[in-house]
Amino acid sequence: MHYSVSFPQGNIQYLLNTAFNSAIELCSPKDTIIITDKNIAAFYASKFQEYKAVIEIKAGEQSKNTETVHYIIDQLLKHEVHRKSFLLGVGGGMVTDITGYVASTYMRGINFGFAPTSLLGMVDAAIGGKNGINYQLQKNLIGTISQPSFILFDRNFLDTLPDDEWSNGFAEIIKYACLFDQGLFNELHDRNIEYYKKNNAALASLISKCVDWKNKIVLTDEHEHGKRKILNFGHTAGHAFETIARIPHGQAVGLGMLVACALSQSIGLTKDVYHKLKHTLGNYNLPTEVNCDIDQTIEVITMDKKRNNDGIDFVLLNTIGKSTIKNTSIKEIKAAIEIFINESNY
């Protein structure tokens, strides 16, 4: 399925269920440089042969930094990349974030596109125009908001995606279900990761729904002044767990959503949602418990940039499909984290 969405900077083409080979119809290979990571190149280098050049960067979040940006720019200069050239990021969120950042700053901006290869890239990272890199200990501190010309979704890339990365992607899919779709929440609860790995049509439908939801939100609030903030559901506590317990982002977001659901009981969310979410996370091999120091967790949460007066803006659920941003006191957060970490009786 192909369609385009109009952003202030221009149209973005979405090519769902589309073979990567079709990218040559969207950008001229002789003017296009592929940016990818070494893991992806090891599997798919043969698909990149027609392009002007391929820049391979080291895989992993630790590569999303200024050093890699400089390395890419040196390579662009070496290949005489100019204003009319095109950059195509083929990879997970790390690759698409850095490709978008380099493309939107090199020579004050050149055109770019994405072919996400991880599930998380397909349902989240490649969509929405946020590009960037980490700096020192701060994630995504440096970046731009700039939209690609196209995003091409080829499910075949997922055949080589490691199991843990599938789970990370599902954490974001479960997040969308919590925020927007009771029917999907029930479906995810009743199915599991193996079902979607084997059932292409069901997976394609999931990806397409997530693309739609993210687009709808981004179109109303591209620069995250308001509505886009709800996409941070699960990320406030999740980010703290990710930092302290050094667990992958998706796993941490799953745990963060449980904390947010526990806190959401103050605005009427029923306890059964917490239990259903816990069961669902388990179906996608996501953890439901974490071993973290409580004070350190609070410390990281309170350093969070969404701090406001004496509280933190937390995305909470009134019910599945309806969310509210509530300024939540540190005391309340601490109580919820304590109960969560101590595995009390939620």
Residues within the interface to ligand NAD (CB under 6 A):
37, 39-40, 43, 59-61, 64, 91-95, 97, 117-118, 120-121, 124-125, 128, 130, 140, 157-158, 160-162, 165, 168
CB of 96: closest distance to ligand NAD in angstroms?
Answer: 7
Comparing CB distances to ligand NAD, the nearer of 146 and 319 is 146
Q: Kindly report the number of other CB atoms within 10 A of residue 165's CB atom.
A: 19
**Residue 50 and residue 26: Cα distance in Å, rounded?**
14
Comparing CB distances to ligand NAD, the nearer of 60 and 183 is 60
CB of 268: closest distance to ligand NAD in angstroms?
Answer: 29
CB of 3: closest distance to ligand NAD in angstroms?
Answer: 20
Contact 88, 33 (CB under 8 A): yes
Comparing CB distances to ligand NAD, the nearer of 10 and 60 is 60
- Residue 51, token pair as written in the block: 């392009």
CB of 78: closest distance to ligand NAD in angstroms?
Answer: 24
> Across the chain, where does the E strand assignment appear?
2-7, 10-15, 32-37, 53-57, 86-91, 111-116, 130-135, 138-145, 150-152, 307-308, 311-319, 322-329
CB of 248: closest distance to ligand NAD in angstroms?
Answer: 8
Comparing CB distances to ligand NAD, the nearer of 36 and 328 is 36
DSSP string, 78-121: HTT--TT-EEEEEESHHHHHHHHHHHHHGGG--EEEEEE-SHHI
Question: Which residue number places its CB atom closest to ligand NAD?
Answer: 93
Comparing CB distances to ligand NAD, the nearer of 91 and 113 is 91
Comparing CB distances to ligand NAD, the nearer of 47 and 326 is 47
Comparing CB distances to ligand NAD, the nearer of 94 and 260 is 94
DSSP string, 229-282: GGGGTTHHHHHHHHHHH---HHHHHHHHHHHHHHHHGGGT--HHHHHHHHHHHH
Q: Which residues, 6 or more positions from 322, have their beta carbon under 8 angstroms from its beta carbon?
A: none
CB of 319: closest distance to ligand NAD in angstroms?
Answer: 25
**Residue 11 and residue 3: Cα distance in Å, rounded?**
10
CB of 158: closest distance to ligand NAD in angstroms?
Answer: 6
